[in-house]
Amino acid sequence: MIKAVSFDLWDTLIADESDEPKRRARGLRSKRDERRHLVWQALDAVEPVPLDRVVLAYDVADAAFNRVWHDQHVTWTVSERLGVVLDGLGRSLPEADFARLVAAHEDMEAELPPDPIAGANAALAELAGRYKLCVVSDAIVSPGRTLRRILETHDLARHFSAFAFSDEVGRSKPHRSMFGEAARQLGVEFADMVHIGDRDHNDVKGAHALGMKAVLFTAARDRDKDITTADRVCADYRDLPAVIDDLAAA
């Protein structure tokens, strides 16, 4: 029996990078460029440093983050990531300046939030009437507190009774701890859960390893649809309640 449904956030509930057109329309830098500019600006105010040197150090730190995320199932906090950047440059910042830099990174996506996937709110409202719902999401740059703000902005948070974010759990998907925290908060067993997400490695394989069901959701990102081992593939929120009900019946 399926008692609970957990959802990935990026490209499952929220369309990743859908905020970039909004930024361009307002004459703002892309998030990637703005993050590098913020570090350069903070350092240059203390002691001049070439922008291209900061960009290179940030790129190297990002590559290291991605390796640790994929291989060790850990998402460094923004503070840790920026620490790697500064170490690579052989620089430091006053404590207050560093704290402002961290906050600017963490709050960026909440100030001009990306959009929800079409149909998410209606589907969640229907599912919440039959199942317990939880968000299980890696925190790539925005921490859990910011991701909650984004969900609240789009009136999505109200459908969920539990949240498991990697910066708060200490590990990232597909590590057992992420799904385990969701099961703990919901008060269910792994066998009672189905997880919805867009990445076969993180969402499908991680759930299956624990005896959960898994649905690959392809409305925003469909790169894994031809390689997935998911129990079902769904491309539209209008179809998702029926897909989950079908798994529950089976």
Domain that holds residue 232: 4-16+113-249
The whole-number pLDDT of residue 1 equals 86
Which residue, 56, 86, 111, sits at the end of a domain? 111
Residues 27, 11 share a domain = no
- With a cut of 90, say whether residue 21 has pLDDT above it: yes
Pick the last residue of a domain from 63, 84, 111: 111
User: Average of pLDDT values for 193-216?
Assistant: 97
Q: Mean pLDDT over residues 49-66, rounded?
A: 98
142 Rama class: left (phi>0) / alpha (psi -120 to 50) / beta: beta
> What's the rounded Cα separation, in Å, for the pair 44 and 170?
33
Q: Which residues pair with 196 in a beta bridge?
A: 7, 215
Same domain flag for 122 and 211: yes
188 — pLDDT class (breaks 50, 70, 90): very high
Reduced 3-state DSSP string for the chain: CCCEEEECCECCCECCCCCHHHHHHCCCCCHHHHHHHHHHHHHHHHCCCCHHHHHHHHHHHHHHHHHHHHHHCCCCCHHHHHHHHHHHHCCCCCHHHHHHHHHHHHHHHHHCCCCECCCHHHHHHHHHCCCEEEEEECCCCCCHHHHHHHHHHCCCHHHCCEEEEHHHHCCCCCCHHHHHHHHHHHCCCHHHEEEEECCHHHHHHHHHCCCCEEEEECCCCCCCCCCCCCCEEECCCCCHHHHHHHHHHC
- Over residues 104-147, the pLDDT tens digits come to 999 999 999 999 999 999 999 999 999 999 999 999 999 999 99
The pLDDT score that the predictor gives to residue 179 is 98
Same domain for 132 and 8, yes or no, is: yes
Q: Are residues 128 and 77 in the same domain?
A: no
Based on the fold, state whether residues 120 and 87 are members of the same structural domain.
Answer: no
Confidence at residue 163, expressed as pLDDT on a 0 to 100 scale: 98
pLDDT-derived band at 250 (thresholds 50, 70, 90) equals confident
Residue 23's pLDDT is 98
Give whole-number Cα distances, 106 to 3, 31, 117, 175, in Å: 33, 11, 22, 23
Q: How far apart are CA 230 and CA 236, in angstroms?
A: 16
- For residues 104 and 220, state if they share a domain: no
Q: Using an 8 Å Cβ cutoff, are 15 and 220 in contact?
A: yes
Query: Residue 193: what pLDDT?
Result: 98
- Looking at the fold, whether 131 and 242 belong to one and the same domain comes out as yes
Angstrom distance (rounded) from CA 206 to CA 209: 5
Do both 74 and 117 map to the same domain?
no
The distance of Cα 5 from the centroid of its chain, to the nearest Å, equals 17
Residue recorded with tokens 């990697």: 166
Asked whether the predicted pLDDT for residue 206 surpasses 90, the reply is yes
If one counts the domains in the chain, the total is 2
User: Mean of the pLDDT values across residues 48-53?
Assistant: 98
Inform me whether the pLDDT recorded for 177 exceeds 90. yes
Give the mean model confidence (pLDDT) for residues 72-94: 97
d(CA 15, CA 92): 35
Chain-centroid distance of CA 118 in Å reads: 18
Distance CA 98, CA 105 (A): 11
CATH of the domain at 130: 3.40.50.1000
Residues 123 and 245 in one domain: yes
Q: Verify that 133 and 215 share a domain, yes or no.
A: yes
What is the average pLDDT value for the chain, to the nearest integer? 97
User: Are residue 133 and residue 197 in the same domain, yes or no?
Assistant: yes
Say what percent of the chain tops pLDDT 90: 99
Check pLDDT > 90 for residue 93. Answer: yes
